[in-house]
Amino acid sequence: MIDTVLEAGDTEDGVRPVSAGPLLRVEGLKVVIRSGGRAVRPVDGVSFSIAAGETFALLGESGCGKSMTALAINRLLPDAAVIEGGEVSLGGDDILRLPETRMRSVRGGRVGMVFQEPATSLNPVMTVGAQICEALQLHRKLGAAAARAEARLLLESVGIPGADSRLDDYPFQFSGGMKQRVMIAMALAGRPELLIADEPTTALDVTIQAQVLDLLAGLQAERGMAMLLITHDLGVVARMAHGVGVMYAGELVETGPRQAFFQTPLHPYARKLFAALPDGARRGSMLDAPVGSVPALDQAFTGCRFAERCAQAFDRCDDESPRWQQVGSQAVRCHLYDADSVPRPLHRTSGAAFGQADASAGTPLIEVRDLAVHFPVRKGVLRRVVGQVRAVDGVSLRLGAGRTLALVGESGCGKTTVGKAILQLNAASAGAVFYKGENQTGLTREALMPMRRAVQMVFQDPFASLNPRLRVGEIIEEGMVSLGVAGDGPSRRRTVDALLERIGLSASMRWRYPHEFSGGQRQRIAIARALAVSPDVIVCDEPTSALDVSVQAQLLNLMRELQRERGLAYLFITHNLAVVEYLADEVAVMYLGRIVEHGPAARVLGAPAHPYTRALLDAVPKISAGSSDSLPALAVASDLPSPLDPPAGCHFHPRCGLASDICRVSYPAERSMGGGHRVRCHWADASARGLRRPD
């Protein structure tokens, strides 16, 4: 242990060569899943190594075999999956040949694991203390009292306040970020040499993600652990990794140190991943998404697996599987580098190309005035109202025809409730929603019809938002029938066919069921369903957050085209600021039921005046080649407070670095920063200059 700590200390700016005495070495690992005569190979000859104190990131989209690789290292594969070949050695021990009894001391002892979904990765009916103690008693042979004391230290080390009393709490009493911290504490219980983190922050908000990533990086440096980080997020890789491996269709296609990789990604697939990322610099231009999807893994590949989606593919790519080529410090499997070809550095379009901020042209399609949605909390026999959850508490918005307004905030801030209240799916407690100047609140079902037709919704989860028992054609047609648009049966069917073609599917697919489609395709179907009644406005509630980057890029391209063709207005509810930068004309930042900053996207994101907006922007891991280990200037601490009992004064003050006495007493009034940019902060000027309150 001592050697590894020293070793971790003597590297310069955290980047270390991959070959420095590897702790974990994976060589030609192959996993096969056999079912009903088919053999699927999710991991097909993967090799990499990780040194102590180093973080190696496996990067790739869903279904490319990242998680299977991680499970195989721990021999935790599902029953149907078998390790077909290869070698895994951990500190010299041949993991694949260890007897199962010794393997158990490796799992949780020498190798700790953190999973993606903190909500489901803890036993729901046991206290977190009991679950951590279980690992301690198992691997460190501690007695009950000693284990409890150690568990408390572990909870403290992962930054859980009041660790002593929280040991006796159950998982459901923790927030998502806190649960993930508990998970990390549990993984650390056996003092692992290697920590495998499988998408550890994907299910968390950006602010929480930043906290958890910092925690992981800190713990790793402190304990000199090696870390295998599995992620699809280039930003997370840039922030955390020393070495990077890009996986595609069961194979590694590129490996290299972080810096070199982010400067010059070599493999065309890796380049596509960068090109598919939305951001402000790509506004107004199409995102360069790879066409098609990952090939099925039950076939025998002859050529390069990426060839059919690769713009640079040539004949040889179809016939011959490329071998590893060393290019500088990187290694890549691509025929483009067979000869002594020189890689071009990644070309990034630069310069902010924000559209002109033409905020309030004419009557807005949708206007929300001082909207409030309160949910009563009832208790006792008589169901007395004992409190109000102020999910939405005085929100005003305007959305003009053909424009995109992004509503941004952490989960639980009330943004989805605003979307639903606009469609009158939630009753407003106060305030009004206007569609084309007409107040929609309190109208009857019939009177709501014109607005219901004109304002449609696309939901976050494409797997849950389509009725699995209806055919795609019926799903799209249903809205037309109930709202009585698009004429008789045959003409409706023509509309459905045209819509299917328009969203990039074929008309013959109208007979299929939702489960036959991928997530991205389903989300397109959801859009087609919304478009079927020719709406003016689509409320999109996190439409891309369940999708991979390349699929997200395809969907964003489609949405942008549809907006241009049909003059659609989007209310885009999201927590993804990169998407906002790419798509939105205006941004409204929401915190605990209120809009704290509002204005043209260029101004709000370019010169944020509210500390919360700045914190959100800072929390997004930056994709840059340089070292990004420095902490964000205004990281928010702790979780979102409860909307049942919001903090007095400015709701944000307990998490704000600028907060002073006045912030604790009075909620700031709205003030203009010019150019339609409005903010509610007592310290907006200081905040806009990027200052921190001197302590």
The least CB distance from residue 138 to other proteins, in Å, is 6
Among 30, 104, 140, 471, binds other proteins (CB under 8 A): 104
The least CB distance from residue 206 to other proteins, in Å, is 23
Contact 401, 536 (CB under 8 A): yes
- Sort strands 93-94 and 81-90 into parallel, antiparallel or unpaired: antiparallel
> With respect to other proteins, which residue has the nearer C-beta, 87 or 134?
134
Q: Does 105 bind other proteins (CB under 8 A)?
A: yes
Q: Which of residues 146-185 bind other proteins (CB under 8 A)?
A: 170, 172, 183
The least CB distance from residue 203 to other proteins, in Å, is 11
Q: Does 113 bind other proteins (CB under 8 A)?
A: yes
Compute and round to an integer the Cα radius of gyration of the chain.
26
Q: Does 656 bind other proteins (CB under 8 A)?
A: no
The least CB distance from residue 273 to other proteins, in Å, is 26
Q: Does 212 bind other proteins (CB under 8 A)?
A: no
Among 82, 126, 644, 665, binds other proteins (CB under 8 A): 126
Which of these ranges, 106-114, 251-259, 449-457, 591-599, lies near other proteins under the rule CB under 8 A? 106-114
- Sort strands 55-59 and 38-51 into parallel, antiparallel or unpaired: unpaired
Which of these ranges, 122-130, 145-153, 469-477, 521-529, lies near other proteins under the rule CB under 8 A? 122-130
> With respect to other proteins, which residue has the nearer C-beta, 379 or 689?
379
> With respect to other proteins, which residue has the nearer C-beta, 122 or 617?
122
> With respect to other proteins, which residue has the nearer C-beta, 4 or 131?
131
Q: How many CB atoms lie within 10 A of CB 520?
A: 23
Q: Does 15 bind other proteins (CB under 8 A)?
A: no
Helix axes 611-619, 206-223, angle to 10 degrees: 50
CA–CA separation, 338 vs 336, rounded Å?
6
Contact 409, 589 (CB under 8 A): yes
> With respect to other proteins, which residue has the nearer C-beta, 125 or 342?
125
The least CB distance from residue 150 to other proteins, in Å, is 15
> With respect to other proteins, which residue has the nearer C-beta, 119 or 483?
119
> With respect to other proteins, which residue has the nearer C-beta, 8 or 113?
113
Contact 184, 216 (CB under 8 A): yes
Q: How many CB atoms lie within 10 A of CB 224?
A: 20
Binding mask 178-207 for other proteins (x = CB under 8 A): -----x--xx-xx-----------------
> With respect to other proteins, which residue has the nearer C-beta, 121 or 554?
121
Supply 668's token pair: 């700031």
Instruction: List, in sequence order, every residue forming a beta bridge with 252; answer none if it has no partner.
Output: 247
Q: Does 98 bind other proteins (CB under 8 A)?
A: no
- Sort strands 366-379 and 430-435 into parallel, antiparallel or unpaired: antiparallel
The residue type found at 339 is A
The count of residues interacting with other proteins (CB under 8 A) is 37
Q: Does 117 bind other proteins (CB under 8 A)?
A: yes
Cα dihedral 573, 574, 577, 581 sign: negative
Triad 337, 340, 346: Cα angle to 5°: 55
> With respect to other proteins, which residue has the nearer C-beta, 199 or 233?
199
Which of these ranges, 118-126, 366-374, 419-427, 489-497, lies near other proteins under the rule CB under 8 A? 118-126
Nearest to residue 265, comparing CAs of 60, 531, 14? Answer: 60
The least CB distance from residue 198 to other proteins, in Å, is 10
Which uninterrupted H or E stretch holds 597? strand 594-600
Supply 529's token pair: 């369903």
Cα dihedral 485, 487, 488, 494 sign: negative
Which of these ranges, 104-112, 213-221, 353-361, 544-552, lies near other proteins under the rule CB under 8 A? 104-112
End-to-end C-alpha distance for the chain, whole angstroms:
39
| Backbone torsions φ then ψ of 673, nearest 5 degrees | -105, 10
Nearest to residue 616, comparing CAs of 647, 581, 648, 661? Answer: 581
The least CB distance from residue 74 to other proteins, in Å, is 6
> With respect to other proteins, which residue has the nearer C-beta, 171 or 409?
171
Binding mask 348-387 for other proteins (x = CB under 8 A): -------------------------------xxx------
Q: Does 145 bind other proteins (CB under 8 A)?
A: no
Which of these ranges, 98-106, 314-322, 394-402, 405-413, lies near other proteins under the rule CB under 8 A? 98-106
For 661-694, letters b (16+ CB in 10 Å) and e give: eebeeeebeeeebeebbbbbbbbbeebbeeeeee
> With respect to other proteins, which residue has the nearer C-beta, 36 or 674?
36
Q: Does 122 bind other proteins (CB under 8 A)?
A: yes
Q: Does 138 bind other proteins (CB under 8 A)?
A: yes
The least CB distance from residue 220 to other proteins, in Å, is 18
Q: Does 339 bind other proteins (CB under 8 A)?
A: no
The least CB distance from residue 281 to other proteins, in Å, is 37
CA–CA separation, 553 vs 123, rounded Å?
36
Q: Does 546 bind other proteins (CB under 8 A)?
A: no
Among 14, 22, 109, 400, binds other proteins (CB under 8 A): 109
Which of these ranges, 125-133, 249-257, 564-572, 664-672, lies near other proteins under the rule CB under 8 A? 125-133
Supply 417's token pair: 């409730």
Contact 229, 69 (CB under 8 A): no
CA–CA separation, 592 vs 116, rounded Å?
26
Cα dihedral 518, 523, 529, 531 sign: negative
> With respect to other proteins, which residue has the nearer C-beta, 188 or 486?
188
Among 36, 37, 99, 124, binds other proteins (CB under 8 A): 124
CA distances for 574 relative to 88, 359, 529, 545, angstroms: 41, 20, 20, 8
Which uninterrupted H or E stretch holds 559? helix 549-566
The least CB distance from residue 102 to other proteins, in Å, is 11
Which uninterrupted H or E stretch holds 40? strand 38-51
Among 81, 106, 253, 331, binds other proteins (CB under 8 A): 106
Q: Which of residues 55-84 bind other proteins (CB under 8 A)?
A: 71, 74, 76
Among 86, 108, 280, 668, binds other proteins (CB under 8 A): 108
Contact 537, 455 (CB under 8 A): yes
CA distances for 690 relative to 96, 397, 595, angstroms: 53, 27, 20
Residues near other proteins (CB under 8 A) are 71, 74, 76, 104-109, 111-113, 115-117, 120-127, 134-135, 138-139, 170, 172, 183, 186-187, 189-190, 379-381
